[in-house]
Amino acid sequence: MLRVQVALAALALAFIAGNSYASLRPVGDAVTLSEVQGVFDGIGSTIDAVLDQTTEDAFLPTGAGNSVASYVATVSFGWPNMEFGIYNLLDPSQKVKVFDSSAVAAGDSVVIAFDEGLNLVASVNFANPLAPVTIDSTSYFLDFGFYAITTDGEFSPDGYLYSQDFLNVGNYARMLTYQGKGDLVTIGDAGTYPDDHHWYVAVEGGAYYGSDPTGGDFSDMIVQLESITPSDVIPEPGSALLLASAAVGMAAVRRRLLIG
């Protein structure tokens, strides 16, 4: 019983502190992240793939309320079908697809439109604004995290991958975030521009079957996003209750194992 109380107390403190339960970083080293480093070097960024990792895992749009996402690269094992997008921080089941790696090239951009008036969040083809818009979410939300999933079944044993580690199988890191340093970067045909108002997300999509993937290369997809800022929103009480219930269940199982 004491273990359960300790687990619940720790969980409560984490939620009171907002994003203090955010992901621990850095992950990996100069060897495992050499491909991510190569991408940064190649576009003209001075970001250090190890030392410049941030603990930020949740964001919201700034400025006009929209954000522009640009596909940067896929370096390692070319996942033919990896989907990348954002999810509602208060309801991860609400997702908005931004990119499909099988249909994009470096520099391709998408506008993520947060439209409270129409009560929706949608991704818009930036290269062809007259193209039909696919509405991916029928509900409006502002605070978001990132998700990815490999849509080839044999490569998706761990299901959805999230920027918030506690949502992942095993609570393992699946995404690294970096803040732009104001360097003049060049990404595909998108031109050259300073990245001081940009963030980068590097995804590890490998099939780890629940084991620790932190030795991965995190270069299965790299995306740049403009006009976003870290969020400190606290998950809704329902989410906290769900996680607390899970903590109680795990503590009970561990207790039975120790007794047995």
The two counts, helices (H) then strands (E), for the chain are: 3, 15
Of residues 9 and 82, the one with the higher pLDDT is 82
Whether the Cβ atoms of residue 203 and residue 35 lie closer than 8 Å to each other: no
pTM of the model: 0.80
Residue 47's Cβ-side half-sphere holds a number of Cα atoms within 13 Å equal to 35
The two tokens of residue 171 are 């609570």
Which pLDDT score, from 0 to 100, does residue 137 have?
Answer: 65
The overall longest dimension of the chain from CA atoms, in Å, is: 65
Q: How far is CA 10 from the centre of its chain?
A: 24
Beta-bridged to residue 85, according to DSSP, are 97, 147
At 54-106, the pLDDT tens digits run 999 999 999 777 888 888 987 765 555 788 999 999 999 999 888 887 778 88
Element (H, E) at 238: helix 237-259
With H, G, I as helix, E, B as strand and everything else as coil, classify residue 103: helix
At 109-159, the pLDDT tens digits run 888 888 887 778 888 766 665 555 555 666 788 999 999 998 765 556 678
- Written as one letter, the residue type at 55 is T
Of residues 112 and 4, the one with the higher pLDDT is 112
Q: Where are the domains of the chain?
A: 2-259
Of residues 1 and 148, the one with the higher pLDDT is 148
